Structure 1
Amino acid sequence: MKKYLISLLVILSFSNCDSNTAIVNSWRDPKLTVAQEHFKKVLVVVLVKDEASRRIAENRIAASNPVFKTSYQYLNEAKQLTKEQKLKILQDENFDGVVTMRLVSTEKETTYVPGTYTGMYYGGFDGLDTGVYGYGFGNWYGMYAPNFYDPGYYQETTYYMVETNVFSLKENKLIWTGTTKSDYVTDIGQTVDAIMQAVVKEMRKDGSLPPK
């Protein structure tokens, strides 16, 4: 099989990542695939307000493949420029693709976790099964065991909806977009890994990337 010069995201592998992230929806340009574009230099833009979080996320992706370059290296001093001026910078730097990651929304979901019975207060009468309803009265004392019942409780989980886009600068158009739902909240790097794992899996599924 003919090898691609460099295909976006092909070598990303997060098989050891315990992911609680899933694709909610996605779309790709039916006329183009990521593999067809043969990206050689791709700008990574993580659109979050916190600068530290932005750099952590961009560095995480850039570290996975030399094809990726962080946006803060090229556009931090160009925030006040027009779209055309920014595109000129990217063209001059020989970029042919852009990947953006944007937090779309934060959602909270409350679920009830039912209690569990961990003790036993029934069994055969005096240890014997009589086959009669209500048997086991002799073991009634078990219902007062300290570990008999673990009460239920309400659990609130925060989900992050993140939109990932892939743009072709050569075609000057969006060629793939997908939204993921993730409940990682403590480790930004792990969250990015999980999102990219879900994105790559979906791209392989819809034909944007070749199968493994």
Structure 2
Amino acid sequence: MIKNYVLSSVGTRCLTLFISTALLFSACSPATKVTATWKDKDAEAKTYKNLFIVALGKNLAYKKTIEDKMATSLTNTGAKVTESTNVFPPDMTKDKALDREQLLQKFKEAGCDAIISVALVNKDSETRYVPGTTAYAPGGYYGNFWGYYGGMGPAMYDPGYYTTDKTYYLETNLYDVNTEKLVWSGQSETLNPDNIDKAATEFANIIVTKMVSDGVIHSSASPAKK
């Protein structure tokens, strides 16, 4: 019986250690991942290295952050980058938007051969229950009541809780300036971003790495990893 108890106790501790380790690695894993990509098989086979970045949305601060991070990651591949927030007026809205010819003129003035757009296409919220951390590992707690109470009490009163996960779905498109055709498109999702600067950096590096590996962005170096 004692042997079985010892084995059970050791097994419980190992399981607890395994779960803790798994949670640690999970917390360190990237919050952003590419979920799908598409490439026009009929498009002219070429890579682009002079790019115009357009983050779509009403929040100027978020647009600027995403464009800055995309520009940094693309520049580190050897590409030349122009950000829309440095070209278009900050008060440009749907009612004040440039027409097609004016937009094309802006792209050509920048000497760009491709346009990259980034847009938030969806956002999901899901509430889930996180169970408490109680684990059955009596060990030396059975020596006396106070030892047992002091050891197991905190675990017994460590309740679970509800948390809300937020997932942001972004779509990144690459268009050829001359043909105006969509050449490449990628969908990605970001889980629970707690910092826009950090999330935008991770997003940019992952997306640019994928675009390089898919052969649509010219690269003379690897994207920055921060």
Aligned-residue offset at 1:37 = 3.0
Q: How many residues align?
A: 183
Structure 2 counterpart of 1:43: 52
Matched, 1:151 2:159: yes
Residues 92 and 204 (structure 1 numbering): CA distance in 2 closer, same or farther, change over 3 Å? closer
Deviation, structure 1 residue 210: 8.4
Per the alignment, residue 190 of structure 1 pairs with 198
Which residue does the alignment assign to 1:99?
Answer: 116
2:41 corresponds to 1:30: yes
**Cα root mean square deviation, aligned:** 3.3
Q: Considering fraction of residues, name the structure with more helix.
A: 2
Secondary structure at the aligned position of 1:37 is classed as coil
How far apart are 1:88 and its partner, in Å? 2.2
Identify the range of structure 1 (183-192 vs 168-177) with the bigger mean alpha-carbon deviation: 183-192
- Report the CA distance between 1:119 and its aligned residue: 6.1
Residue 11 of structure 1 is matched in structure 2 by: none
Corresponding residue of 2:16: none
1:94 partner SS: coil
Q: Give me the TM-score of the superposition, normalised by structure 1.
A: 0.70
| Cα shift readout 1:108-149 (whole Å, capped 9, x = no counterpart) | 1222211222464478xx87xxxxxxxxxx879726732232
Instruction: Return closer, same or farther for 1:99/1:122 CA change in 2, 3 Å cut-off.
Output: same
Name the CA shift for 1:70/1:157 in 2 (closer, same or farther; >3 Å).
same
Label 1:69 to 1:208 Cα distance change in 2 as closer, same or farther (>3 A).
closer
Query: TM-score, normalized by length of structure 2?
Result: 0.66
Select which of 83, 86, 89 maps to 2:100: 83
In 2, Cα distance between the equivalents of 1:22 and 1:38? 23
Closer, same or farther: CA 56–28 of 1 in aligned 2, 3 Å = same
C-alpha separation in 1, matches of 2:70 and 2:111: 19
Q: 8 Å contact 1:119–1:142 — kept in the other structure?
A: no
| 1:55 corresponding residue in structure 2 | 64
Separation of aligned partners in 2, 1:61 and 1:206 = 17
Q: Could you say which residue in structure 1 is the equivalent of 2:12? A: none
Output the CA distance in 1 between the equivalents of 2:164 and 2:188: 19
**Which amino acid in 2 is paired with 1:146?**
G
Structure 2 residues without counterparts, runs of 5 or longer? 1-27
Query: Residue 48 of structure 2 contacts residue 216 of structure 2 at CA under 8 Å; is this kept in 1?
Result: no
Distance 1:93 1:116, change over 3 A: closer
